[in-house]
A and B are shown apart, each in its own frame.
Chain A
Amino acid sequence: MASKRFILPRRTFLQGSAGLAGTAALGTSALGTGMLARPMSALAQDKPEEIIVRVWGGAWGEAMRSGVADPFTEMTGINVRFDYTEDNEIRPRIWAAVDQGRVPPIHVNWDTSTNATISALRGVTVDLSDLPNLEGLLPLARPVGLEGYPLVNTYAYVYVCAYRPEAFPEGPPQSWRIMLEPRFRGRIALYDDGIGFNPIAVIAGGGTIDDIPDNMEAGWEFYRQLRENEPLLGEDPDFTTWFQNGEIDIACTISVNARAARQSGIDVEWTVPEEGCKVDTDGLWVPRGLPENEEYWAKQYVNFALSREAQAAWCSALGLPPVYPGLEPPEDLVGDPAYPTTEEDFARLVSIPSPVLVENQPIWFERFNEIFQG
């Protein structure tokens, strides 16, 4: 969006024309309460009726509900409402709200660290450095490449190789290169922006981790070969549907989704092939522009999510290693490569720092698009 220098002339024009359009603006409607202006005299710690947290749906939202939201409500009496808008789709809405000086649509954003870093760079996040529960967390909790805590990471997760055991009688796939075999033509699935696999493609294509991000050619070559095998590209619900309907045999997806699918009766397993899998983090951040008291309680929510009980409940429901040290993994994930706890676990996985991702993901996305959409 245009920076400060252009705000005056642009705003005048746009406000003028928008004002014309808005002359028909009447009062609030009966059914929509929306974001009414709070009385400015509210004390900083006045409890709001509710706070709104953006979550992913399905297993993710349920984990947040039982692990963090309900205990928070019990503790404080503040209702927690979930907003199920996709992380990508809420971002321009928050940015527009901050730019236009309005109250943003949510209080807390549960976002990928990369996305959160982008919003932090844009300056729309509130600093969380003063949260007491930040002490004692694993170094993983600290955002990389940013000053202070414009966001805080809450757990790690792995983009595993999920597969249908029936299609692999010889055992779990040892290498990602198995996706190039003709017998899997049309039965492979990737995220439609290449997320979670771009760095792995480089290694699978014969390169090394040092090639990332400057020389990704091995990865693009691998993608070109993969294209011949007609993979399906989609998002999480598509993967689940495809596994359910037997459309695919192998996919690169987040372990949470594979685990949720397995728990609901679909025949799916997962593994970390020899080239490794990408490991990343998710975090929480609070947008700017909230009224003082609501911002205070939004930060309290984030603080609570970092506490021992919340981390234990939330992350074990998800099946992901938390940033709170010393918690036991859920039974079905002990020793699972998708639940890294020790240094050796992490050594098998591929981790790319957020700033590198932020800078390169658009470029990788465009190359990915070019290869697969052509």
Chain B
Amino acid sequence: MRGRRGKAVFLWTVVGFCIVTLSLPTLIIIGASFTAGEIIQFPPDGFSLRWYERLWNLDSFQDALWRSLYVSVICTVIAIPVGALAAIGTVRYRLRFRRTLQVYLLLPFTIPLVVSGIGLMLVFGEVRILGQLWPVGVALCVINLPFMIWAVGASVNSLDPELENAAANCGAAPVQVFLTVTLPAVTPGIITGGLLMFVLAFNEFLVSLFLVDSRIVTLPVQIYNNIRSVITPDLAAVSVVYILFAVVAVWLLDRIVGLEIFLRSR
């Protein structure tokens, strides 16, 4: 291949820059969380686990963590059927008002999160479901739905419709085709989308801020409220906890399906 070296140099420079900028804040925050001092600084002032200890002993931290997990699970569980059906529907079928639908389904991105939060607070308030945790999961699903639709849509796109025709030819009725051919084929997309939804829900605070109260506060909201007064290294410690979750989730995913799933669509 001509210019192979030039190409490699170009690619690796750009990618190297990306990796550095992506990882630098992460590494710094990890380092800063072990500080024995009072503030977030890097290199850390001494080495100590006191901030982790403080975090663990904080009752509200453990509760908030479980609530965040619960909310993220609800979000993912709703997102999977809704998003998968929507993706299959938009890609496979002829629809009128296609453009309107596309812009409509992009609303979660075009509406700023602050506005979504207030709007959902008013809607949920009207229906008297504020003050419970599962509506928060629904809300988080709504605001990140385009990601799920995209993820499954990518899978659907690469599914050859001829396969479904072939199954029908062999005598399978539509529901059977759907269950035995379509769904398994979009599974990679569903897994990708599901993980994405989970992560995004686990980290979301702007919309959650309006939908939780102090009895059902989720972890990101708690962190956000804490840093409105003073920023201490337990913020870094919490972030490291998040990173640990990430590592575990990624490792699990690799074990179960293989990380390559993000790169395939089929």
Judge A-B direct contact (beta carbons within 8 Å).
yes
Q: A residues bordering B, Cβ < 8 Å?
A: 11, 14-15, 18-19, 21-22, 25-26, 28-29, 31-36, 52, 56-61, 81-86, 89, 92-93, 96-97, 100, 102, 105-106, 235-237, 240-241, 244-245, 260, 264-265
Q: Which chain B residues border A241 with CB–CB below 8 Å?
A: 39, 231
Inter-chain contact A106/B133, CB cutoff 8 Å: no
User: Total A-B pairs in contact (CB under 8 Å)?
Assistant: 119
Inter-chain contact A85/B214, CB cutoff 8 Å: yes
Inter-chain contact B214/A89, CB cutoff 8 Å: no
Given that A29-B133, A32-B131, A60-B229 are known contacts, is A18 also in contact with B123, CB under 8 Å in the complex?
Answer: yes
- Which of A22, A60, A105, A244 is close to B213, meaning CB atoms less than 8 Å apart? A105
Q: Which chain A residues border B127 with CB–CB below 8 Å?
A: 15, 18-19, 21-22, 25
Q: Which chain A residues border B70 with CB–CB below 8 Å?
A: 29, 31
Is B61 interfacial (CB 8 A cutoff)? no
Is B36 interfacial (CB 8 A cutoff)? no
Closest-CB distance, A21 to chain B (whole angstroms): 7
Question: Please, what's the 1-or-0 string for B131-172, where 1 marks a CB less than 8 Å from any CB in chain A?
Answer: 111100000000000000000000000000000000000000
Return the chain B residue nearest A17 by Cβ. B123
Inter-chain contact A82/B214, CB cutoff 8 Å: yes
Inter-chain contact B209/A85, CB cutoff 8 Å: yes
Inter-chain contact B225/A57, CB cutoff 8 Å: yes
Q: How far is the CA of A100 from the CA of B128 in the complex (A)?
A: 9
A-B contacts besides A31-B133, A34-B131, A85-B214, 16 pairs, CB < 8 Å:
A22-B129, A25-B129, A26-B134, A29-B70, A32-B132, A34-B213, A35-B130, A35-B215, A58-B229, A59-B229, A61-B229, A84-B222, A89-B209, A89-B210, A100-B122, A237-B229
Q: How far is the CA of A210 from the CA of B153 in the complex (A)?
A: 66
Inter-chain contact B229/A29, CB cutoff 8 Å: no
Inter-chain contact A84/B216, CB cutoff 8 Å: no
Q: Which chain A residues border B215 with CB–CB below 8 Å?
A: 32-35, 52, 81
- Which of A93, A106, A236 is close to B229, meaning CB atoms less than 8 Å apart? A236
Q: How far is the CA of A235 from the CA of B41 in the complex (A)?
A: 20
Q: Which chain B residues border A31 with CB–CB below 8 Å?
A: 66-67, 70, 133, 216
Inter-chain contact B125/A86, CB cutoff 8 Å: no
Closest-CB distance, A246 to chain B (whole angstroms): 11
Given that A236-B229, A237-B228 are known contacts, is A34 also in contact with B132, CB under 8 Å in the complex?
Answer: yes
Inter-chain contact B39/A244, CB cutoff 8 Å: yes
Inter-chain contact B129/A235, CB cutoff 8 Å: no
